[in-house]
Copies of this chain bind each other. A is one copy, B any other.
């Protein structure tokens, strides 16, 4: 993997870069859609290509349980299996073990857990996480970490971060592939001293990229921004920086400014399936009765397929009638919104005007005021 820095925003820490992987390049800052089970829900590879998606994230936990990493390896790896010849990132499986499976025992060695599918027992260790991800064959793979919950005491966060650090060292040692790039994950909760120590330890291990984990888990926006802003300054300039599981358009605006390069989040795709749509003037719920006879597109400024061809009235009809098509049309729209936002970030960084872009975009997102906020809260 190679990472090239193309330009910097003069008024912030934002950077415009390009990651080269064996399966193609990724322009950063980049948003990575989530394709949990080897597909970004509702979309085909053709749809993703048409949207300009350069990389998607697949979840190791899900693919390990079904259809199994060995099966995928026998079928030629994740790229061949999913018919996606472009870059892929896999997570370590840790986050889903904590959030979906039933944990039987966490120890220094690793985690014993029961599958959420059939209750079968499994063991995930740093070495196993590397073995599974090597079989899957993604371009970017992640070290196994413990995602520190919120709120926790300093003592808990410290012990957890230290175990994550030791696991990172074991992942580094167990990682053999030279076509896959391994990223380390900094933890430490909202404690800046722990985050700093976490990053220092990871830097000693020399990863090809660095991620911030355990954010957007319940802490305030102010706390998150403080952690991201502090951590980004500690990370090496010449390696990609990945903020995991974040976030809203507003979060992306903020964290691009701190110099983060990669983001993944289920927000655009999950909201789409719930009928919640992103627009340049805030979020809207397509279920709302006021759209029953509305001939306008979701967002008249949007150039996506959905907005070019369908009215709010038709989308609302499909949604209320449980027609599967609308889940795809909504997903196309929301992902287009996110990808377009990232494209504009990159252009603004290149033009050296990110701060004006940020100000204008935030004010537009809030332009419908109370009404938009109310729908956003739905």
Task: Give the interface of A toward B (CB within 8 A).
Answer: 37-39, 41-46, 62, 66-67, 71, 74-76, 81-83, 292-293, 295, 305, 309-311, 313-314, 317-318, 320-321, 323-325, 327-329
**Are A323 and B39 interface neighbours, CB within 8 A?**
yes
Q: Which one, B66, B321, B327, contacts A37 given CB within 8 A?
A: B321
Q: Which residues on B sit within 8 Å (CB–CB) of A44?
A: 305, 309, 325, 328-329
Known contacts A75-B295, A324-B42, A325-B42; decide if A37 and B317 are in contact (CB<8 Å): yes
CA distance A347 to B254 in the complex (A): 61
Q: Which one, B75, B309, B320, B328, contacts A313 given CB within 8 A?
A: B75
Q: Could you list 11 A-B pairs, sorted by A, with CB under 8 Å? A: A41-B323, A42-B324, A44-B328, A44-B329, A45-B309, A67-B320, A75-B313, A75-B314, A81-B311, A83-B309, A328-B328
Q: Which one, B37, B75, B305, B317, contacts A323 given CB within 8 A?
A: B37
Chain B nearest CB from A53 CB (Å) reads 14
**Are A66 and B292 interface neighbours, CB within 8 A?**
no
Q: Which residues on B sit within 8 Å (CB–CB) of A295?
A: 75-76
CA distance A43 to B44 in the complex (A): 12
Can you name the residue of chain B whose Cβ is closest to the Cβ of A81? B314
Chain B nearest CB from A367 CB (Å) reads 27
Q: Which residues on B sit within 8 Å (CB–CB) of A76?
A: 295
How many copies altogether? 2
Known contacts A311-B81, A317-B38, A317-B67; decide if A325 and B43 are in contact (CB<8 Å): yes
CA distance A297 to B74 in the complex (A): 16
Can you name the residue of chain B whose Cβ is closest to the Cβ of A40? B325
**Are A318 and B37 interface neighbours, CB within 8 A?**
yes
Known: A75-B293, A324-B327, A324-B328. 20 other contacts (CB 8 A): A39-B318, A42-B324, A44-B309, A44-B325, A44-B328, A46-B305, A66-B317, A67-B313, A71-B313, A75-B295, A75-B311, A75-B313, A75-B314, A76-B295, A81-B311, A81-B317, A83-B310, A83-B314, A324-B324, A328-B328
